[in-house]
Chains A and B, each alone.
Chain A
Amino acid sequence: MRVLVVEDDEILAEQIQASLLEAGYSVDMANDGEDGHFLGDTEPYDAVILDFGLPILDGSSVLKKWRAAGKKMPVLVLTARDSWSDKVDGLDAGADDYLTKPFIVEELLARLRALIRRAAGQSSAQLECGPVLLDTRNGRVTVSGRAVKLTAQEFKLLSYMMHHTGKVISRTELTEHIYDQDFDRDSNTIEVFVNRIRKKLDSNVIQTVRGLGYRLEWDEGVA
């Protein structure tokens, strides 16, 4: 899952970035409204954490510009302005959730997980595909109850696929959603990761769709 954080306070931005990385997200950072808007406009994010009080271009304008341009990614707004009017107008501008400062990063992570899940059409915190179970709350993966240890990159990849079960996902899409913008991307490595995950899961849930990409699907017959 790739997340954009637009926050102008350096220390808070660092805290958020650290927690997000630890929780297995790819994170891009922007510290003003203009940069933030550009990134959100050009890169495919699974979610955006957007501070409303930003230099150059304020958060609510950024959000309105994205929505006007048809960008649909879920946006979690951070703000110190916690009056109900700010909340109502913020959500009216197109935010999907709202967190007022000060907040605990745990709370932010929980909201973010829920936001990404809802955007992907998943209602439970535990994503399931046949015997494979991914608990978004603690990042644990099990197959038929057996715990599986994944590297950070493997987890990101599986997590993205688990959020979009049944959907054909291209290698490019996977690259875009598991690496942050500074990463030297090579879509060939995706294939390596997929094969490793397949081995670790010891279960044939990741299917290759020739020429298009992969699909996560549990088919009793194949298994």
Chain B
Amino acid sequence: MRAELRHFFGTLTGRLLKSAALWSIAALAVGGLVLSLVFRSYVLSDVDNRLSLLIDSMVGVSEISPEGVIRFSRPLSDQRFMTPESGQYWQINEAGQEPFRSRSLWDFELTPDVSHRSFSLKYYETDGPDGQTLRIAERDIILPQSDRLFHFQVGTDMAEVTAAIAEFNWLLVSALGLIMVTVTTALVLQVSYGLRPLRKLGRSLIEIRTGKENRIKGDWPQDLQPLAQEINALIEQNEKLVDRARTHVGNLAHALKTPLAVIQNEVEGLSDKSAKRIYSQSKLIHEHVDHHLKRARIAGGGTGAGLPIKDRLQKIIKAVAVTTHEKDVDYQLDCPETIKFDGEKEDFDEILGNLIDNAGKWTEAKVKITAAMVTENLRRPFMEIRVEDDGPGVGSEDIDTLFERGRRLDERVPGTGLGLAIVRDIVEMYGGQAMLESVNPHGLRAVLRLPAK
């Protein structure tokens, strides 16, 4: 699971998501913190304003009684000052006197800091009765008509304020959380939308590799266009290289074969021992050249249009008939006009040329070639071609080895024995299948499956 996660964050999507998530979380966290602080200070300044007003009204109603004690000329309007532990308190201290306290304080006494005088308002928080946390405003005042110094204090329970701040924070966190989820979803969508052309490019490459297309086509976003062009240029260069290599191999083979023909004809029929050796070795050279030339020629790719096979089969049959003309062979072709081979003409010719030629060599009188589309539901369309002869056939244990390189069951019939191995190689290159089976009462049938257009 961890490995999978690491793998995901290694992908382009993962990296984009990860970096986007990191900065958005940081931004949201900072924003949330600032909002929370602003709200808190706003609420506190509201409380402080109220406390300051209360101190003012306390001063307004304070008077010195005839007995020389401080008292209120009338009670403060807020009833909560009368209810014990209501959360609203006041207290007035004078040095050396019992503090004058609100009823709500009950038996609790605020502990004012009277170490030094301060005629300006001071705010702070301290413990109150019943475990409350109080916000206190306090100042020293000298009442008119007296020169006595009083320390006025007003306190209010912070519980409500704390609750309001907590509620606000909770709201804030949920809102930010919601934003986070929305943003992440949007990011996922955005990344997948943004990367869609890349995925399309990937699919185009697959189509090129499997031979359905030969170039990357269509319009691409401006920033991908150069990539698409470069890939096309690379493919083109690759094609040219392959082409040049094939031409070189062809030229080399051509250049070698004429001297080989000369050598073979020069020593052929001589009874000299070394002449015979030269002859057999030059024949071997010929076989090697053939083998590699044929393999180099296999193209294994699809073409744009597809090759109509009926016409091609007729031409191949004509070519085979010419080389086996000593025998009167009836070649029967049954092939719908519509079937097209999804590949190179050269490869098709090589496969069917070898198979039909083989059938023509071994047959007694009749070679049957049938082609049809495969009706099974496969991932891509396939055709099935059968080449059947009425020759002696092959034993069941030999049938599997026929496709091997250089395998020939009868040395009397001419051929280098490479034909069937080449057939298998090409067919497999196209993702097709080649099978051999026996025919009743005698004969051999080759069954091919090749990609169709």
A residues with a Cβ closer than 8 A to B are: 9, 11-12, 15, 53, 80-85, 87-88, 90-92, 95-98, 100-106, 114, 118
Known: A83-B350, A85-B349. A102 touches B318 (CB 8 A): no
Compute how far the CA of A83 lies from the CA of B422 in the bound complex, rounded to whole angstroms: 11
Compute how far the CA of A87 lies from the CA of B1 in the bound complex, rounded to whole angstroms: 60
Interface contact A84-B254, CB-CB below 8 Å: no
Interface contact B323-A103, CB-CB below 8 Å: no
Compute how far the CA of A15 lies from the CA of B352 in the bound complex, rounded to whole angstroms: 34
Compute how far the CA of A103 lies from the CA of B86 in the bound complex, rounded to whole angstroms: 122
Query: Which applies to chain B's interface (DSSP): helix, strand, loop or mixed?
Result: helix
CB-CB nearest in chain B for A104: B268
Question: How far apart are A102's CB and chain B's nearest CB, in angstroms?
Answer: 3
> Chain B residues with Cβ under 8 A from A102's Cβ?
257-258, 260-265, 282, 286
Interface contact A104-B264, CB-CB below 8 Å: yes
Question: How far apart are A130's CB and chain B's nearest CB, in angstroms?
Answer: 27
Interface contact B315-A11, CB-CB below 8 Å: no
Q: Please give 17 more A-B residue pairs, beta carbons under 8 A apart, in addition to A87-B349, A102-B264.
A: A9-B259, A9-B262, A12-B261, A80-B253, A80-B255, A81-B250, A82-B293, A83-B294, A83-B297, A84-B354, A88-B312, A91-B318, A98-B319, A98-B323, A101-B260, A102-B257, A102-B261
> Chain B residues with Cβ under 8 A from A106's Cβ?
268
> Chain A residues with Cβ under 8 A from B315's Cβ?
88, 91-92
B61-103 vs A, Cβ < 8 Å mask (1 yes, 0 no): 0000000000000000000000000000000000000000000
Known: A9-B258, A96-B322, A101-B257. A88 touches B349 (CB 8 A): yes
Compute how far the CA of A181 lies from the CA of B318 in the bound complex, rounded to whole angstroms: 34
- Interface residues in B240-282 (C-beta closer than 8 Å to A): 250, 253-266, 268, 282
CB-CB nearest in chain A for B297: A83
Interface contact A118-B325, CB-CB below 8 Å: yes
- Interface residues in B117-138 (C-beta closer than 8 Å to A): none
CB-CB nearest in chain A for B250: A81
Q: Is B353 an interface residue (CB 8 A)?
A: yes
Question: How far apart are B319's CB and chain A's nearest CB, in angstroms?
Answer: 5
- Interface residues in B279-296 (C-beta closer than 8 Å to A): 282, 286, 290, 293-294
Q: Name 9 interchain pairs, CB-CB below 8 A, sorted by A.
A: A9-B258, A12-B258, A83-B350, A87-B349, A87-B353, A88-B349, A92-B319, A98-B322, A102-B265
CB-CB nearest in chain B for A10: B262
Q: Is B239 an interface residue (CB 8 A)?
A: no
Q: Is B400 an interface residue (CB 8 A)?
A: no
Q: Is B346 an interface residue (CB 8 A)?
A: yes
Question: How far apart are B297's CB and chain A's nearest CB, in angstroms?
Answer: 6
> Chain A residues with Cβ under 8 A from B326's Cβ?
114
CB-CB nearest in chain A for B268: A104
Q: Is B405 an interface residue (CB 8 A)?
A: no
Interface contact B319-A84, CB-CB below 8 Å: yes
Q: Is B345 an interface residue (CB 8 A)?
A: yes
Known: A80-B253, A80-B258, A101-B260. A87 touches B265 (CB 8 A): no
CB-CB nearest in chain B for A7: B258
Known: A9-B258, A88-B349. A97 touches B264 (CB 8 A): no
Compute how far the CA of A91 lies from the CA of B315 in the bound complex, rounded to whole angstroms: 8
> Chain B residues with Cβ under 8 A from A90's Cβ?
319
B residues with a Cβ closer than 8 A to A are: 250, 253-266, 268, 282, 286, 290, 293-294, 297, 312, 315-316, 318-319, 322-323, 325-326, 345-346, 349-350, 352-354
Compute how far the CA of A140 lies from the CA of B253 in the bound complex, rounded to whole angstroms: 39
Interface contact A103-B318, CB-CB below 8 Å: no
CB-CB nearest in chain A for B255: A80
Find B261's partner among A53, A81, A95, A101 (CB 8 Å cutoff). A101
Interface contact A12-B265, CB-CB below 8 Å: yes
Known: A80-B258, A102-B282, A114-B326. A87 touches B264 (CB 8 A): no
> Chain B residues with Cβ under 8 A from A95's Cβ?
322
Known: A80-B253, A85-B350. A114 touches B262 (CB 8 A): no
Question: How far apart are A72's CB and chain B's nearest CB, in angstroms?
Answer: 16
Compute how far the CA of A99 lies from the CA of B122 in the bound complex, rounded to whole angstroms: 117
Interface contact B265-A104, CB-CB below 8 Å: yes
> Chain B residues with Cβ under 8 A from A87's Cβ?
319, 349, 353
Question: How far apart are B84's CB and chain A's nearest CB, in angstroms?
Answer: 111
Question: How far apart are B79's CB and chain A's nearest CB, in angstroms?
Answer: 111
> Chain A residues with Cβ under 8 A from B266's Cβ?
15
> Chain A residues with Cβ under 8 A from B354's Cβ?
84
Compute how far the CA of A102 lies from the CA of B261 in the bound complex, rounded to whole angstroms: 4
Interface contact B316-A88, CB-CB below 8 Å: yes
> Chain A residues with Cβ under 8 A from B268's Cβ?
104-106
Compute how far the CA of A95 lies from the CA of B326 in the bound complex, rounded to whole angstroms: 17
Compute how far the CA of A92 lies from the CA of B345 in the bound complex, rounded to whole angstroms: 14
Compute how far the CA of A92 lies from the CA of B353 in the bound complex, rounded to whole angstroms: 14
Compute how far the CA of A82 lies from the CA of B422 in the bound complex, rounded to whole angstroms: 14
Compute how far the CA of A65 lies from the CA of B8 in the bound complex, rounded to whole angstroms: 66
Question: How far apart are A2's CB and chain B's nearest CB, in angstroms?
Answer: 22
CB-CB nearest in chain B for A76: B322
Find B322's partner among A80, A82, A97, A101 (CB 8 Å cutoff). A97
Interface contact A84-B258, CB-CB below 8 Å: no
Question: How far apart are B150's CB and chain A's nearest CB, in angstroms?
Answer: 118
Find A97's partner among B257, B297, B312, B323 (CB 8 Å cutoff). B323
Compute how far the CA of A137 lies from the CA of B286 in the bound complex, rounded to whole angstroms: 28
> Chain B residues with Cβ under 8 A from A85's Cβ?
345-346, 349-350, 353
Find B265's partner among A83, A96, A105, A118 (CB 8 Å cutoff). A105
Known: A53-B254, A80-B257, A91-B315. A11 touches B262 (CB 8 A): yes
CB-CB nearest in chain A for B356: A84
